[in-house]
Each structure stands twice: as structure tokens, then as C-alpha cells.
Chains A and B, each alone.
Chain A
């Protein structure tokens, strides 16, 4: 008897309405396009996420590792009912947000990974995925957790999320918080922006290719410098490092 094991391993996917793209202006005056990314584009995202595994600040390493696994799982049909949205500026990847549908009335937020910082890009991405859950998929509420203090401030505090501590979140089993439709409606005027339809030239540029970020988050100057400084009271290591950098810059 032959068994097609792949059919058993591969989750059955529920039909999910697509996300309608939108765009918004950032504080810089640049337009960012938010659109859904499907399976065939996932390798482009993986290339951009992988370097962040080594960024030991603001929990980029933890978040990147989990996002990488989620995207790979989606790409290889090992993740049920996941969706992925990308935020792009001039085609360049600026953020990735993803989540999944747990039931037809319940959504689950996975991650918000900003690859460009300082312009509320992550916040815009989070708002877009909540919009997808509540407005497009018709979920009554979305389970959310934060892995960084920045995320906690952005989601739990800005949206005034409700506690669902009796529900362990799929991310690490930690207590969940929830965004309900009512909370989302209250936040709409302040936190949710975007214009539709996206002008064709903007959308074409975004759809054409996901370009890697030109200014992604980078590791601290030297993650061990602070530790080493404890044994280096004259700060020689820090200064030497800087001088070497300056020398390198001059030679470049």
C-alpha cells in the first residue's frame, strides 16, 4: 500500500480573501506601499531576514529567527493559514508583517519586523495587518503578543489591548493580549492610515520585485565591547576600534 505522506504533512488551507493594497506617506515624504506577498516571493524575504538573526539589539535576533522559520514554513507548506504583508518604499523592503487565521472569527498576529526604522513603518505595518484581520477576514478579535519593549508600547499601550492571559499565544506560550473590533474602531482615526487604490506606478514598482533594504538594522558597533570594557578600564578597546574604523573609512 502506498501512502502520499506529503498530503498528510501539508496543512489544509482555508480560503482567505486577499489584502487590498494601500499606500501612505511617511514622515520623510516617501510613499510606502503595503501589499500581500504570496508563496513565490518568500525567498526574497528570507534573504532580507537572514542577516537580522545576527543583530543583537531590540530583539531583532529573536524576531528575525522566528519570522524566518514562519516564512520558510509557509513557503514549504508547513504552516496553516498564514498570510504575509510587505511594506515597500520604491520597491525596497521596509517591513514584513504576518499572522494567521486560527478560526473564521479569530486571528493571530505573528510578527512585525521593521527593516527600516524611525518612521513608524512597523506601526503602519501592524495597523495594516489588524485591518486585514478585522475588516477583510472579519475576525472578531486578534491575539497579540510583544517580544520587545517597543512592540509592547506600540501594540499593548497604543491600542489599549485587552488581556487574554488564559490563552497561551503560539509564540512561546506566553499570555495573550487581544485586539477586538471595538478597540480597532476606536484606534482607527489615530493609528490606521492609508489610501486606496494605489497609483499604478507605485504598485507596479512594488509588485515588480522586492528589493533588499538599503539601510537595514545593523548589529551594535561591537556587542562585546561593553563586556570587554569591564576588563579594560582605559577604554583602549573602544578607542582602538574607532580608530581602526576611521582608518578603514579613509582607505576605502
Chain B
């Protein structure tokens, strides 16, 4: 199997984008192509979750290939729920690692704000089990709320811990010009003041407004190449060193212990084994904080902290910029936004930015290794990636 490198990255602002879906993907892709210095690719994968339903568009990869004048490259769309982005990166990795292709464009894109927030919530809820969850009105915020309640009872997580994640990540987004939320928040404003319950009401108790990521539009793209091509292009040598992917039961109630995110655990374990790294080796991480509780739980499941101690590490500042393992320094899903199909690729974009030393005010000093975790369903399909800077 050949080594695979990330030679180019691109992203759009995450916000409400009033452009056609394929244009958003094309824009991010052009940035990535320009960054890598390539004009042709062998293959492109376009990650997206909702185009047929939300944007009334199918065969998105063909549209993007034509839009970018990349014909006659091979093209395929990847739909894997909110883990579509990292799943597409995995497909791109396989294409290059196998020797089939030398240059692969992986783009992720979503335009969720074309519909109102109720429709967007319903669209995302279609990933739940159709017979045991969806028909009873379960949404992702509802899933996350039940998970949070269990986590609180079992491990002592409080609403204050959740708010700490929200403040950390939303304020981190202020250092990321591409992030959706550019509004500082404070613990006093969202938790402690007499107005806090109005500023930050419950959306699905115990989760409040600022515990959830925003609904965003956006696109991100990366260029994957072989080692030979990477050297030829002369960009920083960022190797995609490990990939793990795992699944769990579709219906959450079927899990023996619902607070255990077994797919996260397995995906991270496999990625570490493939890369030869351990959790202690990671300098910077992107975790899938669609809800604040997920950052805490995932930080334990990937192995950064023992089970049940993620929130105490958070209290000590270990997950903040300058801490033991900085998590979501670009805002995460909470601050950067979560255009679902784009998120996995945007996480890769952030890690590569960090490993190149281009993070500006959010740069993790001397970062050489990174990890990104893309969480699909409610933990039923998870992809973990590790990255190493080699030069």
C-alpha cells in the first residue's frame, strides 16, 4: 500500500450561502487545486448528505467534475450521513494507496439553509432508525439530550461543563475567518446571569441553545496524492497516516451501554494502530462536537482521557489552546458550523492548516501530528483519521 499525502486544501466560509450547491463545492475545490498547484485529477469524490432531498439535486460529483472542467476524471458522490466527509477521504485514500490513482480531489459540501430550520432538523433526523426512532419523532437534538442525561447521571457531567465546551469552541471560532459563528459568548451570559435562561434556553433538556452547532452551508476540499506526486508538488508533506472506520447499532436503544460510543473507540483504535501513533502522540485534534456533550465523550473514547474524565480534563483547560491536547481550536462544529457533508473534510482542512503552521492566532505551537473524528448517525458510523507532518 502506498503512502498518501494531503497536497492541497480549500474551504468556503461556513454560513448561509446563496449559491448553487455544485458552485459551493467547486469554489472550495478550486481553492484546493490552486493550493496544491494541480489542474488535473484522476478521480474526485464529493461528500454530501442531503442534495437529493434538500436541494433537489442528484449525481453531484458529475456536476462538480464538469463545473471544474476536470473531465474526464472519474467521479462519485459519497453519502454516509454526517460522516460523509471522512468516508470520502477514506475512498480517496484507498484510490491513491492502491496505486489506481495519483491525484484525487475530495470535496464535501452541504447547503442546508435552503430549507427552514424545521425541515433541516427533519432532514438530519432521517438518519435515525425509521421504525424504532424516526416515526416516534426522534431528532438528533433529542438523541443527544438523552445521551447527555445518561452521561450526567453516570459521570457527573453538569450543564456548566457543557457550557464550558460551548464557550471554548464558539470563542475559538473568532480566530477562524471561515467559521460560521463570529460572536463571542461568556459563561455569565449563557449560564450565570438572570437573563441566561432567555439567552440560552433549553432546546432539548438538558441541552440548551448554545450546546448545539448551527445549521450551516459550506464546502471544503482536499487533494490527496501519492508520495512521488507530493514531492513533485513541493507542498508541506502531510501524510494521512491512519484511518479507522467502525459502525454501531442503527437504533441507539439496542446498545448494551448507550453511554459507550463503541464505534468511536474502534475507529480511533484502528487509526492509531495503522499509523503507529498513540493518543499521547497527538498534538491537535478535531472532534465532532455537533453537541457539546459529544466533545467530552469522544475525547474519552479516542483515548485522550480515561472514560468519565473528559469533563474534568476540560475543567483543567487541557483541551484548550495551550493545553495538553487542544481540541477544536478552529471552533469545531459548534463554532465553525456543520454543513453535514462537508464537516469531515473541513476537519481535515483544519488539521492540515495546523500541521502546516498556518493557524495564525489559533495555531497549536509546533504541531506535527493530528487527529480528526467524523461522527455519523448517533455514533453508528464513525471515521477517524490521523495525520503526520514529515518534513
Instruction: Answer whether A and B are interacting partners.
Output: yes
In the complex, which residue of chain B has the Cβ closest to the Cβ of A233?
Answer: B67
Are A235 and B23 in contact, CB atoms less than 8 angstroms apart? yes
A69 at the interface (CB under 8 A from B): no
Given contacts A118-B183, A226-B18, A229-B20, contact A235 B199 (CB under 8 A): no
Which residues 119-174 in B have Cβ within 8 Å of A in the complex? none
Are B195 and A238 in contact, CB atoms less than 8 angstroms apart? no
Rounded to whole Å, the gap between the CB of B39 and the closest CB of chain A is: 12
Are A235 and B30 in contact, CB atoms less than 8 angstroms apart? yes
Are B181 and A118 in contact, CB atoms less than 8 angstroms apart? yes
Q: Which of A27, A29, A57, A193 contacts B194 (CB under 8 A)?
A: A193
B59 at the interface (CB under 8 A from A): no
Rounded to whole Å, the gap between the CB of A154 and the closest CB of chain B is: 12
Are A27 and B19 in contact, CB atoms less than 8 angstroms apart? no
| Stretch among B185-193, B225-233, B292-300 lining the A interface | B185-193
Q: In the complex, which residues of chain A have a beta carbon less than 8 angstroms from the beta carbon of B117?
A: 153
Q: Which of A25, A120, A235 contacts B67 (CB under 8 A)?
A: A235
Are A234 and B69 in contact, CB atoms less than 8 angstroms apart? yes
How many residues on A have C-beta within 8 angstroms of the other chain's C-beta atoms? 32
Are A234 and B68 in contact, CB atoms less than 8 angstroms apart? yes
Q: Which of B27, B116, B187, B197 contacts A239 (CB under 8 A)?
A: B27
Given contacts A234-B67, A235-B23, contact A28 B184 (CB under 8 A): yes
Q: In the complex, which residues of chain A have a beta carbon less than 8 angstroms from the beta carbon of B210?
A: 27
Are B185 and A27 in contact, CB atoms less than 8 angstroms apart? yes
A10 at the interface (CB under 8 A from B): no
B200 at the interface (CB under 8 A from A): yes
In the complex, which residue of chain B has the Cβ closest to the Cβ of A229?
Answer: B23
B22-46 CB contact bits vs A (8 Å, 1 = yes)? 0100110011000000000000000
In the complex, which residue of chain A has the Cβ closest to the Cβ of B193?
Answer: A25
A102 at the interface (CB under 8 A from B): no
Are B188 and A242 in contact, CB atoms less than 8 angstroms apart? no
> What is the CA–CA distance of A225 and B116 in the complex, to the nearest angstrom?
22
B358 at the interface (CB under 8 A from A): no
Which residues 182-240 in B have Cβ within 8 Å of A in the complex? 183-190, 193-201, 210
In the complex, which residue of chain A has the Cβ closest to the Cβ of B200?
Answer: A27
Rounded to whole Å, the gap between the CB of B222 and the closest CB of chain A is: 17
> What is the CA–CA distance of A220 and B16 in the complex, to the nearest angstrom?
10
> What is the CA–CA distance of A153 and B117 in the complex, to the nearest angstrom?
10
Rounded to whole Å, the gap between the CB of B77 and the closest CB of chain A is: 18
In the complex, which residue of chain B has the Cβ closest to the Cβ of A191?
Answer: B198
Q: In the complex, which residues of chain B have a beta carbon less than 8 angstroms from the beta carbon of A194?
A: 195
A190 at the interface (CB under 8 A from B): yes
Rounded to whole Å, the gap between the CB of B361 and the closest CB of chain A is: 16
Are A29 and B186 in contact, CB atoms less than 8 angstroms apart? yes
Rounded to whole Å, the gap between the CB of A37 and the closest CB of chain B is: 22
Rounded to whole Å, the gap between the CB of B177 and the closest CB of chain A is: 10
A232-252 CB contact bits vs B (8 Å, 1 = yes)? 011100110010000000000
A62 at the interface (CB under 8 A from B): no
Given contacts A25-B194, A118-B183, A234-B69, contact A226 B19 (CB under 8 A): yes
Are A119 and B20 in contact, CB atoms less than 8 angstroms apart? no
In the complex, which residue of chain A has the Cβ closest to the Cβ of B183?
Answer: A118
In the complex, which residue of chain A has the Cβ closest to the Cβ of B190?
Answer: A27
- Tell me which of B27, B196, B197 has the highest count of chain A C-beta atoms within 10 A of its own C-beta: B27
Rounded to whole Å, the gap between the CB of B166 and the closest CB of chain A is: 10
Are A193 and B27 in contact, CB atoms less than 8 angstroms apart? no
Q: Which of A28, A153, A234, A235 contacts B189 (CB under 8 A)?
A: A28
Rounded to whole Å, the gap between the CB of B205 and the closest CB of chain A is: 13
Rounded to whole Å, the gap between the CB of A232 and the closest CB of chain B is: 8
Q: Which of B19, B23, B31, B185 contacts A28 (CB under 8 A)?
A: B185
Are A233 and B66 in contact, CB atoms less than 8 angstroms apart? yes
Are A238 and B19 in contact, CB atoms less than 8 angstroms apart? yes
Rounded to whole Å, the gap between the CB of A9 and the closest CB of chain B is: 43
Rounded to whole Å, the gap between the CB of B75 and the closest CB of chain A is: 15
In the complex, which residue of chain B has the Cβ closest to the Cβ of A29?
Answer: B186
Are B186 and A120 in contact, CB atoms less than 8 angstroms apart? no
A174 at the interface (CB under 8 A from B): no
Are A120 and B27 in contact, CB atoms less than 8 angstroms apart? no
Rounded to whole Å, the gap between the CB of B103 and the closest CB of chain A is: 19
Given contacts A29-B188, A234-B67, A242-B27, contact A229 B198 (CB under 8 A): no
Are B19 and A225 in contact, CB atoms less than 8 angstroms apart? yes
Q: In the complex, which residues of chain B have a beta carbon less than 8 angstroms from the beta carbon of A57?
A: 18
Q: Which of A25, A118, A225, A234 contacts B195 (CB under 8 A)?
A: A25
Rounded to whole Å, the gap between the CB of B11 and the closest CB of chain A is: 11
Are A190 and B183 in contact, CB atoms less than 8 angstroms apart? no
Which residues 201-252 in A have Cβ within 8 Å of B in the complex? 220, 225-226, 229-230, 233-235, 238-239, 242
Rounded to whole Å, the gap between the CB of B252 and the closest CB of chain A is: 29
> What is the CA–CA distance of A229 and B26 in the complex, to the nearest angstrom?
11
> What is the CA–CA distance of A120 and B200 in the complex, to the nearest angstrom?
9
Are B199 and A120 in contact, CB atoms less than 8 angstroms apart? yes
In the complex, which residue of chain B has the Cβ closest to the Cβ of A116?
Answer: B183
Q: Can you name 16 A-B residue pairings with CB atoms under 8 Å?
A: A25-B194, A25-B199, A27-B183, A27-B200, A27-B210, A28-B189, A29-B187, A29-B189, A29-B193, A57-B18, A119-B199, A153-B117, A194-B195, A226-B19, A235-B68, A239-B31
Chain B contact residues, CB within 8 Å of chain A:
18-20, 23, 26-27, 30-31, 66-69, 116-117, 181, 183-190, 193-201, 210
**Known contacts A28-B185, A234-B68; 12 further A-B pairs (Cβ under 8 A):** A25-B196, A27-B190, A28-B184, A29-B187, A117-B183, A119-B183, A190-B198, A220-B18, A229-B23, A234-B26, A235-B68, A242-B27
- A-B residue pairs, 3 tightest by C-beta: A29-B186, A25-B193, A27-B189
